[in-house]
Structure 1
């Protein structure tokens, strides 16, 4: 079945256009509610959101949809995506919904769904809901319409939960930490959790106005964080994205620490304590070869999944891993959460900093990344990767890199773009290979 609504991470698009309208959101609520009306108990859904202007509209539409088919609704207000996953499970809800477009700017929005176990929905569940969205659902009898209420203690519950990931004896006293919340969902909870553990906090991106989420701040815009870390003489900088499921770190010198280095740190610590499961970690095809080599030196493996934290999580659960993530900053630690959680990852990094007694610049650069280059090639139509010349150029490049690097060619799932990535020990060779493949794709398009 061709998906009309669900992409790789829920439903996402420009608000008031396409799939991201109030009318569609109401139908999503009716369809998802109907799909999860199982058993004879009173059914419940938890709905959270980030800080974008359209969140109010989408929340109201979803509430109308869910209550119209007989499901009760609990609204939390702005909270990180992992908080909604947590509360869905802890409150024995049948379904969780996060209204967010992650790291996108305010004009976009999205709907992410979680099952009663706190994990993102399976392909089977999503396809079933797709079908239901496109047909009218039977409405509840007047006496069975759902009720909706807001809860006031959701933020406190989440703060308490994330702090449990830090050993009881560890305190952050004496540390100065810059926390950039991207004017997003974690603007209150992340600084509060870190402050409660003893650190002095300097905040960025904590004044949402509905339109400034991810705008020049957060994990995809690090200039402001780097300037603040250096200007304040901070020990470390922490950047979350709009829904706070990813983390990027800046050390005290202003140098960026990406998801690969963070995964290396977390895996090293857990392996030393005998707590790393699966014999390694799961990352994506985009993670640097340097990470793979570093882990191999510790006797650990790097299993690779398709791009997307959902694919990482699937491979983690199938292989018994407890750590996984993406170079872009998604960090999944199944001992503590059922989805990526930037705040929990940040607490693990700062906890390691405290326990090591080292500076961030010493602790957080465990391997030297090999030269890596990614380029996107836009095409007008057709299937460039099926072109005989393109396939020949790719085969030659793979042979050239054999044993010395990697090549990843993949089409975008959302736009007519081919992504070409190569990495290897010889930077000039990597660049030449990428340029050669890009040229071949353009000629074939």
Structure 2
């Protein structure tokens, strides 16, 4: 017999209460508590397991514990492959490519995959699969939103991997709430996690995000899963970055870079060549920076435009760079280097449509601004890698050896770094110039051309 129980839960944190409250006592958010109806019924036999206490030395290791995909970037972000029994949550903006990357890895997977979609029909999935791969195989498709029916099909097919697109469309009969509610998301994910751990089945889950950029549903959802991946990028550009926010089985410093085209997402083996233009003669206002995103060194091009202010208040506009940090660098330039640019418009753009938070590109940003201001180009073959503090001094950055090695590999002749950089790598084809402050940088770059 199925019994019903009425409870009240917070849609932000998922905390439960016996009666309605105006404020959640856990997360202190107002008007976030909603009524839920729970149906108590026997749980599926598929997720029942008999747990025993064991010594850690007595536990047997998994054989072939990681599943390798043909997508090297996806394997890299996962920490070397998909761990059996793990639950991975992938989030991102609508249309960024979450379903595409999972579908193309499903149809090319070495294991059998059950692709469960609550957003597309089977015919739509087949149409997209044929566009991605000419010979899609080894992939089963189920268009269903009821969790109990999904569990029955998993027990019937016994796939090696399950993909759920998306968790916000799935609902369980244990609750009367509509799909996408806090209780449905939390309980459905909890049941799937128990299933994954009990039979060693890896599950990939797609999660929607809110207008604030957070994953829709309770915050506890990110704590429950093993790995949280976030797909980011501008839909107006072709580049996408898959970033690891949480990973119990690997490093969170890894990123995967993809290029979107009509046949799906393609891995970018050498992103530095895509983000830097191949012009023989650089124009004024352009500088090359060596940034580190995760554990990967990337060469990016910084473009700057300095012009006389038409309106009363000068404009400070940046694309891909922190606008507050830009204002700080402009204040340092005027105070410490003596350049009067406070009454001029300054525009900064990072090519490729990507966003960079690494402070090691400070020197390249300043060099591009100075180059545009005096209309003198930076010498071709020169790149920059240093942070600038409020006193105008150059500060060293992490993993400087890896950055220098990347610049040398791509054929750059000179790299300007901080005087305090501890370099263990001995470059053969690139000159390393150590400078102390902005005044020395101006003399090094622009004095010879003047």
Normalised-by-shorter TM-score class: under 0.3
Select the structure that is richer in helix.
1
Larger Rg: 2
TM-score normalised by the chain length of structure 1: 0.27
